[in-house]
Amino acid sequence: MMDIERERGITIKSQAVRVNYTSDDGDTYEFNLIDTPGHVDFTYEVSRSLAACEGAVLVVDATQGVEAQTVANAMMAMNANLEIIPLINKIDLPASDPERAKEQIEDGLAIPADDAVLCSAKTGEGVHDLLEAIVYNIPAPQGDIDAPLRALIFDSYFDAYRGVVALIRVVDGSVKKGDTIYMMAAGTEALVEEVGARKPAEIALPDLSAGDVGYLVTGLKDVAQVKVGDTLTLSSRRAIEPLPGYRDVKPMVFTGLYPIEGDQYEPLKEALEKLALNDPALVWEPETSHALGFGFRVGFLGLLHMEVVEERLEREFGLNLLATAPSVEYHVLKKNGEMISLHSPQEMPDPSEIEHIEEPYLRVKVLVPPDYVGPVMDLTNSRRGTFVNMNYLSSTTVEVIWEMPLSEMIMDYFDRLKSSTKGYASLDYEMAGYRVSKLVKLDILLAGKPVDALSFIVHADNAYNRGSILARKLKEIIPRQMFEVPIQAAVGGRVLARTTVKAKRKDVLAKCYGGDITRKRKLLEKQKEGKKRMKAIGSVEVPQEAFMAILKVDE
């Protein structure tokens, strides 16, 4: 488990384990279990894990009930024709409401919940029931042990001593040490150096055959040669049809990552390469910013993925990084008929060359108690969302469906959604294609000079509003310097909003009665925080927080 997973209580990487269980019927069964992440950013991890399984245990938190991600993951499991066992967990907590969870599972997911297992993973209550339910409800793997080998690679990682290790589910045939395997999509071959199972420690086995889940050591040096979703077969006896794979993972959110100290560029590059060995979803290309120097434009699956990667880069590799505000991939049709993809506002062509700009839209599903539909509507409307429809899943849960631009989603939408619904709302989304939007690039000028790393793309109707808020936020965040720093928000050279960080000579002697004291404390804390991590842009010291300020556009 990664530190981040433990601290945040989330699963990021799938884990596979094999256990033997002696059932009440006296027989011993072999379970191959795969734990999957739940967050929408890691949907691809779920989909590929499900493809390797016969059944799924759908875990619902008895205190939270069915969440939007529960629905999404249940749908994936149904589409994969898996047997589903509903499990209601955390029943030991005083706030748990298993009956409500059951009702939601039936109404919202159309899964019979009469036999849902009630369980507390903490106390162990109900765990026996779950294991019995797996024995009785989930079919044993089908598959032809005599057919040519077909095994699905559902995860792979790089091990410095052994090369690339693949986690596989064998569907047909068998594989053993010494076999030469062939990756059907990649077209590469490798010698099998070891096979085995994780229990959870890795135990080498003579072979893996139809129905088994295990690991396979290849000795290959490049993880890209062992692609997740690919089908393994034997070189000497190739299967004809590969297993259904899954689509390539596409990054949705892009951000600039820059080392705060210039000499950390190479270490950052090496760190990204190392992380990518185990994270095929991580993509990057070099980027140069006038303001920030040399860095990388990095693509992520979503904001959580971004946060996790940034945190790992800092923690595991000791880097001190500055991240720019995330942006999405825009498509720009130029007047000359050329269509270009932008991963960064800096790549925006001159407005005179642009025919139109398209931005990615999402179909967003929010599950929320009926009382909070109003606040969700207000929030989503303010984010250029278009209402699609609304269904009552149960008396306590409404499903509201929207279409909204991805760029609005990444602006703190999830946190705002949570706070405007007292934490009750849950969210799921899927891509809904590109649409033409009236977009402009908003530039921020510090001391009269545009700072490329602070510019962002915004809907023309929101430019003034967002520009004003950002100018004001920057004024709060950028500490006073020895000279005055004018801040301007401009579109195409037209200044929409301006403000000034005054020279550090005098402070405002604001009144300070009663509640003002609290405000004063907060202000001083904020200023102190801002001084911690600074980057010199020209002659202006700018704290890291400034680059993320645009994400917090609601006040």
Q: Where do contacts with another protein occur on this chain (CB under 8 A)?
A: 468, 471-472, 495-500, 502-515, 517-518, 520-521, 523-525, 527-528, 555
Cα 242–305–261 angle (5° rounding)?
A: 125
Cα 309–315–321 angle (5° rounding)?
A: 65
In order of 68, 228, 391, the CA distances from 428 in angstroms are: 5, 24, 15
Spell out the residues 6+ positions from residue 202 whose beta carbon is closer than 8 angstroms to its own: 196, 215
β-pairing, 397-405 vs 386-394, is antiparallel
User: Which residue, 9 or 515, is less far from another protein as judged by CB?
Assistant: 515
- The answer to whether 319 and 270 have CB atoms below 8 angstroms apart is no
470 vs 549: CA distance, rounded Å: 7
Which strand (E) or helix (H) includes residue 362?
Answer: strand 354-368
In order of 211, 230, 235, the CA distances from 241 in angstroms are: 18, 12, 14
The pair of three-digit structure tokens given for residue 4, joined into one six-digit string: 């981040």
User: Which residue, 432 or 523, is less far from another protein as judged by CB?
Assistant: 523
Report residue 437: phi and psi, to 5°.
-135, 155
User: Which residue, 6 or 505, is less far from another protein as judged by CB?
Assistant: 505
Other Cβ atoms closer than 10 A to 220: 22
> Shortest gap between Cβ of 518 and another protein (angstroms)?
5
> Shortest gap between Cβ of 253 and another protein (angstroms)?
29
User: Which residue, 493 or 515, is less far from another protein as judged by CB?
Assistant: 515
User: Which residue, 221 or 521, is less far from another protein as judged by CB?
Assistant: 521
User: Which residue, 435 or 528, is less far from another protein as judged by CB?
Assistant: 528
Residue with tokens 């040490």: 177
Q: Which of 412, 299, 315, 255 is nearest to 4 (CA)?
A: 315
User: Which residue, 94 or 515, is less far from another protein as judged by CB?
Assistant: 515
Under DSSP, the state recorded for 66 is S
User: Which residue, 288 or 468, is less far from another protein as judged by CB?
Assistant: 468
Angle, helix 68-79 to helix 98-109, in steps of 10 degrees: 50
Which strand (E) or helix (H) includes residue 267?
Answer: helix 265-278
> Shortest gap between Cβ of 485 and another protein (angstroms)?
12
49 vs 72: CA distance, rounded Å: 14
- The answer to whether 127 and 59 have CB atoms below 8 angstroms apart is no
Q: Which of 16, 49, 1, 44 is nearest to 208 (CA)?
A: 16
> Shortest gap between Cβ of 479 and another protein (angstroms)?
10
User: Which residue, 269 or 552, is less far from another protein as judged by CB?
Assistant: 552
- Helices marked H in 298-412 — which ranges? 303-317, 373-382, 406-409
User: Which residue, 221 or 526, is less far from another protein as judged by CB?
Assistant: 526
The pair of three-digit structure tokens given for residue 127, joined into one six-digit string: 């765990």
- The answer to whether 260 and 321 have CB atoms below 8 angstroms apart is yes
User: Which residue, 19 or 524, is less far from another protein as judged by CB?
Assistant: 524
The neighbouring-strand residues paired with 443 are 490
> Shortest gap between Cβ of 506 and another protein (angstroms)?
4
> Shortest gap between Cβ of 514 and another protein (angstroms)?
4
User: Which residue, 342 or 487, is less far from another protein as judged by CB?
Assistant: 487
Residue with tokens 């434009």: 297
First to last CA, the chain: 36
Other Cβ atoms closer than 10 A to 234: 21
